[in-house]
């Protein structure tokens, strides 16, 4: 079993809809959680970073962490075709220098 599970999709939504993405993890040592967006043939771009349970909002993006359930989510409101990309969740424990553990990534397609 992988430490971080993420449905690879693809997830297809109409423009303007809410995109809902999630990851589950098994390692309770993970304390820091990130969401990255990766366009085709590009490097991952940091979208959201959080280290506590609860919600964090930034513009159209909301990140949610539930440490008791080992479950994190990312919501994208008012989705645009430019949001079409692969979204990767990443996690880090407190003692591992410079190492992020990634989910498989979910491919999102927003159709006009």
61 binds another protein (CB under 8 A): no
34 binds another protein (CB under 8 A): yes
Q: How far is CA 91 from the centre of its chain?
A: 10
> 8: Cβ–Cβ under 8 A, 6 or more apart, which residues?
104, 105, 106, 107
Residue with tokens 């993970």: 30
Segment near another protein (CB under 8 A); pick from 17-25, 33-41, 53-61, 77-85: 33-41
- As a whole number of angstroms, the distance between CA 86 and CA 106 comes to 5
Instruction: Give the number of residues in contact with another protein, rule: CB under 8 A.
Output: 27
Binding another protein (rule: CB under 8 A), the pick from 15, 46, 78, 111 is 46
- As a whole number of angstroms, the distance between CA 13 and CA 84 comes to 10
Binding another protein (rule: CB under 8 A), the pick from 21, 23, 30, 36 is 36
Binding another protein (rule: CB under 8 A), the pick from 1, 82, 94, 112 is 94
Helix (H, G, I), strand (E, B) or coil at 44: coil
Residues near another protein (CB under 8 A) are 31-32, 34, 36, 41-46, 49, 51, 88, 90, 92, 94-105
């Amino acid at each position: 079993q992988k430490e971080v599970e993420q449905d690879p999709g693809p997830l297809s939504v109409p423009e303007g809809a809410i995109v809902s993405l999630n990851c589950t993890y098994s390692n309770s040592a993970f304390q820091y959680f990130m969401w990255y967006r990766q366009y085709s043939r590009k490097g991952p771009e940091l979208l959201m970073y959080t280290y506590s349970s609860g919600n964090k909002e930034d513009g159209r993006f909301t990140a949610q962490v539930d440490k008791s359930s080992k479950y994190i989510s990312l919501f994208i409101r008012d989705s645009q075709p430019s949001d079409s990309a692969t979204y990767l969740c990443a996690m880090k424990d407190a003692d591992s220098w410079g190492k992020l553990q990634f989910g498989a990534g979910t491919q999102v397609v927003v159709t006009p």
